[in-house]
Amino acid sequence: MQTNTPSRNSIRLTRRGRLALAATGAVVAGTAVAVPLLVLSDDGDSRPTTLVVPEGRRANQVYAAVDKALGLPAGSTKKSLAKADLKLPGDADGNPEGYLFPATYPLKEKATPEQLLALMVETANKKFNGAPVAAGAQRNAMNVYQAVTIASIVQAEASSRADMGKVARVIFNRLERGMPLQMDSTVDYALGRSTPGVRERDIEADSPYNSYARMGLPPTPIDNPGEEAMRAAINPTPGDWLYFITVKPGDTRFTADYNEHQSDLAEFNSRQQKQEQERKEKQAEPGEK
């Protein structure tokens, strides 16, 4: 049902981690530039034997990780997609985003990008196509691919596992009310950006992934979610929340009340401004470089 809501700018959601980013300069884990975790063999051989794909990495980050793991020129893995024959759902239209499942993969001596990508997709299909996920998706009036898409947003937006179910519920509540999702993570994806920092001009981007300007879900997942995010997507926490904001690390607030959200947003902005002022004062201290 379509509902009357405040303007798109006034109800903007603040994605997870932005306060922590401003305070410490840290990169949000869910969108960090992917560095493959390569485990060396026990006998001291310099050739890595294992590749770890962390949760929430985007397809392009996984491609780069595979290139590095196999010692291939940059771009080799992405070029291999055409001959990889990946077993993707029809809705994916050949795009493996969301189906490069985060896990630890063995690197055989003559491993190829096609083999690694196929193994990742095979693992995703085993995780996603089982009865629990299929039944959960059906229970929420969606197909499995849509559930993976929601899980990818949950993976990017939730500041903790405990918050994943609540973030999923916000997504469902907004979809049911005919509200745009307004998730910064989708805009970051549209702009090909790996660290958060959405500005007002960014939400005008002409992209099907811009969930400020477009209604409904983005056309594909925006990263490769793990099992916890998928579980949240098919079993969202009960609640009426429409807004959420991470006011400070460990303090993400969910509400259905617009005025309460504006109050939380004001507190968030006040904290940011205070921290920025303290940072400037520290830089200006004598003897500080």
Residue 281 and residue 259: Cα distance in Å, rounded? Answer: 33
Question: What's the mean pLDDT in 58-64?
Answer: 97
User: From CA 96, how far away is CA 224, in angstroms rounded?
Assistant: 9
Considering only CA atoms, which of 68, 218, 67 is closest in space to residue 157?
Answer: 218
Measure the CA–CA gap between 129 and 134, rounded to whole angstroms. Answer: 6
Higher pLDDT, 195 or 120: 120
Which has the higher per-residue pLDDT, 172 or 31? 172
* Whether the predicted pLDDT of 218 surpasses 60: yes
Please tell me the predicted confidence (pLDDT) of residue 277: 86
Classify residue 141 by burial, with Cβ atoms within 10 Å: 0-12, 13-18, 19+: exposed
State the pLDDT at residue 19.
Answer: 29
| pLDDT cut 70: percent of the chain above it | 82
* Confidence band for 224, pLDDT divided at 50, 70 and 90: very high
pLDDT at 285: 77
Reduced to 3 states (helix: H, G, I; strand: E, B; else coil), residue 52 is: strand
